[in-house]
Structure 1
Amino acid sequence: MSYSVIICEDDLVQLEQFEVLVKNYMLFHSELFDIALKTQFPDEVLSFLNDQPTNGGIYFLDIDLHSKMNGIDLASEIRRIDVQAKIIFVTTHDEMAPLTFKRKVEALDFIVKDQPIEDFRQNIYDTLTLAKTRIDKTMTRQKKCFSFTVGNQIYRVSLDDVCIVETSTIPHRLNLYTHTGLYEFYGNLNELEKKYPSLFRANRSCLINPESISEANFSKRKITFDKGLVRTFSIGKAKKLKSLM
């Protein structure tokens, strides 16, 4: 799955430096991390979340934003919109830490800026790793993620992002089509059908996510997904598919 990172820091130089640190982490840890927004203005964070609802985002917030809304106010609004948010405060105002508990924003960490750069960087990296782990565990427990293995790497994709899982032309391999990309991995379609009951068996070689269908033609028995992906479904599946849609 994609881990959306949102940064709000009023100092432009520090904002750019922070972006570099996060990008360096992304480079060596996971291509699925994404800096969805970086801004100096808290209002832009809220506008972004209203336009692009986010679940389980990772938020790095300065506390003193030199705005009518400080970082703790912003965190309260974020928590209201994104209840699974992982909020990390990055600030020189460590004396304000108790206020984050009083406001019940449930901060994941509180990182102090004025420390050696090596320690600061490691704090950022450790917190990103912890945020990813917490998000993965939450999604797994709620059965809202699709997991698979490629080599030694375990991938977790939000079930909302899944479009199609189907057999590959290569024996024992499966192709996973999501809204954002294509993956190939070893697996068994029958086992995945049992493991993920929200996925629908459209035909012998294909599982689909009914929530991801953009159009269904029942006379031609064709279903369409994003980016022109089209698959057929068996005639005996029509009634069940209609009820799911």
Structure 2
Amino acid sequence: MTTTTTIYVVEDDTLYREQIIHYIEHYHSNTFRYKLSPLDNHLLFMEEIPTLNISDNDIFFLDIDLKTRYSGIDLASQIRQINSKCNIIFMTSFEDKAVSIINSGIFPLGYLVKNPIDATEPKATIETVLMKVESLTKSAWRSDLDIITFVNGYESIYVNCKEVLYIESLKRLKNRVLIKTLTEESVIEGKIGKIKKTLEQPYLFLSLQSYIINLENITTINRKNGTITFTDDQDLFVGTRIIDKVKKGLQDYQYA
């Protein structure tokens, strides 16, 4: 599961903003896809906030002193009215701002203290912040019953079962399983029988030897062609015998 996270950088110093963006663009993650917001005018950002669709994973780098009629703290207060969980990092030249910000109920994830002497400090802070965001998100995933973790070699892959269309055992590749979701297609090491033992979601049909089918994401079943059509018009050919089992499983699930 790849999570897309939008990052906002609100900073009145153009060169410093470009430096922050450079470090973000060169940060690599296997699980998160970072997208920088095109909103770059700090003078208009307050007016833009009500129009934003802010997710819990989104990140705001806010300069406290914007040299305008409002501060980064004012922006953060408005952002918190829309989303209480998103990640806010304050950029400041003064370390003593922290207590007043916490007391105002904003509870930022961290602070980036501008250091004109050490140019590598922003890079280290940004990497720490992004790793912390990923760690907190993965902790939330682990407590979500719809999200399961696959170990693929040395890598952990998180999959939201609600987004799964089907999981298929690949006959030509020994101990390889295809996971097809609404947005991704992944091949991992493993056996489908062992995967079934880890799944408790009632909408996943586990009675087939080589497939796991998400009954919630089926849109049509064509017995004549032996195909199952899922959300977004994605087709899976399984043959008539399997079609009959899936139809029975879907009927039992709908009337359970």
Please give the TM-score of this superposition, normalised by the length of structure 2: 0.76
The structure 2 residue matched to 1:162, chosen from 156, 161, 164, is 164
Q: Which runs of 5+ in 2 are unaligned?
A: none
The structure 1 residue matched to 2:228, chosen from 222, 225, 242, is 222
The structure 1 residue matched to 2:254, chosen from 219, 242, 245, is 242
Query: Shift of residue 155 of structure 1?
Result: 2.4
Query: Shift of residue 156 of structure 1?
Result: 2.4
Mapping of residues 202-213 of structure 1, within 5 Å: 204=208, 205-209=210-214, 213=217
Q: Closer, same or farther in 2 for the Cα pair 1:78/1:114, shift >3 Å? A: same
What amino acid does structure 2 have at the position aligned with 1:153?
E
Q: Measure, in 2, the Cα distance between the counterparts of 1:64 and 1:210.
A: 53
> Is 1:177–2:189 an aligned residue pair?
no
Query: Shift of residue 241 of structure 1?
Result: 4.4
Cα pair 2:20 2:123 within 8 Å, conserved: no
Larger Rg: 2
Q: Measure, in 1, the Cα distance between the counterparts of 2:69 and 2:165.
A: 42
Query: Shift of residue 206 of structure 1?
Result: 2.8
Query: Shift of residue 36 of structure 1?
Result: 4.8
What is the match of residue 70 of structure 1?
A: 71
Q: Measure, in 2, the Cα distance between the counterparts of 1:69 and 1:206.
A: 57
Cα pair 2:150 2:158 within 8 Å, conserved: yes
Q: Measure, in 2, the Cα distance between the counterparts of 1:219 and 1:162.
A: 20
Cα pair 2:57 2:133 within 8 Å, conserved: no
Q: Measure, in 1, the Cα distance between the counterparts of 2:62 and 2:11.
A: 9
Q: Secondary structure at the match of 2:37?
A: strand
Q: Measure, in 1, the Cα distance between the counterparts of 2:92 and 2:86.
A: 19
Which has the larger displacement, 127-136 or 137-146?
Answer: 137-146
Q: Which runs of 5+ in 1 are unaligned?
A: none
Q: Measure, in 1, the Cα distance between the counterparts of 2:48 and 2:127.
A: 25
Offset from partner CA, 1:84-124 (integer Å, 9 cap, x none): 32322223343332232122222111111235111221111
Offset from partner CA, 1:35-92 (integer Å, 9 cap, x none): 252423244454231xxx5233333222234566533333344444444323222233
What is the match of residue 90 of structure 1?
A: 91
Cα pair 1:166 1:174 within 8 Å, conserved: yes
Q: Measure, in 1, the Cα distance between the counterparts of 2:99 and 2:46.
A: 21
Structure with the higher fraction of residues in helix conformation: 1
Q: Secondary structure at the match of 1:54?
A: coil
Q: Closer, same or farther in 2 for the Cα pair 1:222/1:61, shift >3 Å? A: same
The structure 2 residue matched to 1:149, chosen from 147, 151, 155, is 151
Provide the aligned C-alpha RMSD in A. Answer: 3.0
Query: Shift of residue 140 of structure 1?
Result: 0.6
Aligned length: 236
What is the match of residue 189 of structure 1?
A: 192
Cα pair 1:56 1:83 within 8 Å, conserved: no
Q: Measure, in 2, the Cα distance between the counterparts of 1:147 and 1:107.
A: 29
Which has the larger displacement, 150-159 or 136-145?
Answer: 150-159
Please give the TM-score of this superposition, normalised by the length of structure 1: 0.79
Mapping of residues 73-152 of structure 1, within 5 Å: 73-115=74-116, 116-152=118-154
Offset from partner CA, 1:207-244 (integer Å, 9 cap, x none): 34456x3x622575733223x31236512112244359
Q: Secondary structure at the match of 2:106?
A: coil
Q: Measure, in 2, the Cα distance between the counterparts of 1:179 and 1:23.
A: 26
Which has the larger displacement, 17-26 or 136-145?
Answer: 136-145
Q: Measure, in 1, the Cα distance between the counterparts of 2:39 and 2:101.
A: 21
Q: Secondary structure at the match of 2:88?
A: strand
